Amino acid sequence: MNRIKTMTMEWTGDSLILIDQRFLPLEEIYVECKTYQEVAKSIKDMVVRGAPAIGASAAFGYVLGAKQNQQYTEKNKFFQEMKNVKKVLAETRPTAVNLFWALNRMEQVMNDNFNLNDIKAIVDILEIEALKIAYEDIEINKAIGRNGEKLLKDGDNVLTHCNAGALATVDYGTALGVIRAAVENGKRIHVYADETRPYLQGARLTVWELMKSGIRTTLISDNMAGWVMKQQKINAVIVGADRIARNGDFANKIGTYSVAVLAKKHGIPFYVAAPLSTIDLETENGDLIPIEERNKEEVRFCHKTRLVRDDVDVYNPAFDVTPHDLVTAIITEKGVVRQPYDKNIPELFK
């Protein structure tokens, strides 16, 4: 168990190899990160993206940081350096709480082993912990799938936004994990995938991975979602999350809020599928979730094609917050929770 290899990432023992999601689906290119700085850059530049995948990558980045600093004989110096490793990895993307969750977990394990005299032994323990995070993520996603697939019927048409699939996790996926589990259970499910401007995770990633898995998928542009719902083509919406606040408000890819409002208007159940590591009990409500603003070029371009001149003003929030009253249920590995979320979400952690 000292290696892991999935479609999204591979831990070799000395490096983290990531499928470069910036080039999918047209090119399958891999990036090998041999340092924690390279992992941080890969997270920031979205070689790897999606909350759980970011968390697991950061954990492996932390291990690389530990390996880069294991020459220190003075333990305090090593611990000091590891603070900087954590800081660099934490400063990559602000919204997905899984990043901070994974880094805190790694740091906690390191602190718990402060008494070990051998730094190399601490590094080995950190490597085991990162592998645990990665292996657990797959099992958690499968549990989310089992819990969520009961909400879907044979023949359902499901709309999803962005990519909350295998590529956004270590493997299997959260929202797409629910769809995957339903299909594995013999249900015929057809997916409508929003293309998800500006970064096109839906068009480029969701469609690619669902088609690879043999799941029927139709691509629509984001502005078609309302009309497709109006035509009664959608039975359920399932999306992932980057951070769920204590009251059930949640941040997810920009455009999720519009989809939730549309689902409400059309009486369509709107589900959020996410692991407990995406729930941030310390954040009381959605107004307090930090929303990442990304480079304006992402909007001035459509993938690699320039749409407008570079002096065109642009606003590019990468996420929005959907208020909990629009959420029919949150699907987790511990079960499905419904309103009132401020009461039921904390129960999941007991």
Least distance in Å: CB of 96 to ligand MRU? 6
Given 137, 194, 242, 249, which residue is catalytic?
Answer: 242
Q: Which helix (H) or strand (E) holds 137?
A: helix 119-149
**Residue among 153, 130, 137 nearest 63 (CA):** 130
Show contacts with ligand MRU in window 17-56 (CB under 6 A): 49-52
- Part in contact with ligand MRU (CB under 6 A); list of ranges 164-172, 185-193, 207-215, 332-340: 164-172
String of b and e for 295-314 (b: at least 16 CB within 10 Å)?
eeebbbeeeeeeeeeeeeee
Binding ligand MRU (rule: CB under 6 A), the pick from 66, 96, 109, 181 is 96
Least distance in Å: CB of 13 to ligand MRU? 26
174 sits near ligand MRU (criterion: CB under 6 A): yes
Site string for ligand MRU, 115-154 (x = CB under 6 A): ----------------------------------------
CA dist., res. 310 & res. 286, Å (int): 32
CA dist., res. 236 & res. 25, Å (int): 26
Residue 10 burial (CB < 10 Å; 0-12/13-18/19+)?
A: middle
Binding ligand MRU (rule: CB under 6 A), the pick from 6, 8, 201, 283 is 201
Angle between helices 51-68 and 119-149 (to 10 degrees): 170
Least distance in Å: CB of 42 to ligand MRU? 12
**Which CB sits closer to ligand MRU, 79 or 135?**
135
CB 206 within 8 A of CB 238: no
The 10 Å Cβ neighbour count of residue 294 is 17
State yes or no: is 45 an active-site residue.
Answer: no
Number of chain residues interacting with ligand MRU (CB under 6 A): 17
- Helices of type H across 278-322: 297-300
- Part in contact with ligand MRU (CB under 6 A); list of ranges 218-226, 234-242, 304-312, 332-340: 234-242
CA dist., res. 60 & res. 129, Å (int): 9
Task: Judge whether 177 is annotated as a binding position.
Answer: no
253 sits near ligand MRU (criterion: CB under 6 A): yes
The token pair at 323 is 């208020």
Pairing outcome for strands 30-33 and 16-19: antiparallel
Task: Judge whether 201 is annotated as a binding position.
Answer: yes
Binding ligand MRU (rule: CB under 6 A), the pick from 157, 169, 206, 217 is 169
Task: Judge whether 22 is annotated as a binding position.
Answer: no
Least distance in Å: CB of 287 to ligand MRU? 18
252 sits near ligand MRU (criterion: CB under 6 A): yes
Q: Which spans of this chain sit near ligand MRU (rule: CB under 6 A)?
A: 49-52, 96, 162, 164, 168-169, 174, 201, 240-242, 252-253, 318
Q: Which residues are tagged catalytic?
A: 242
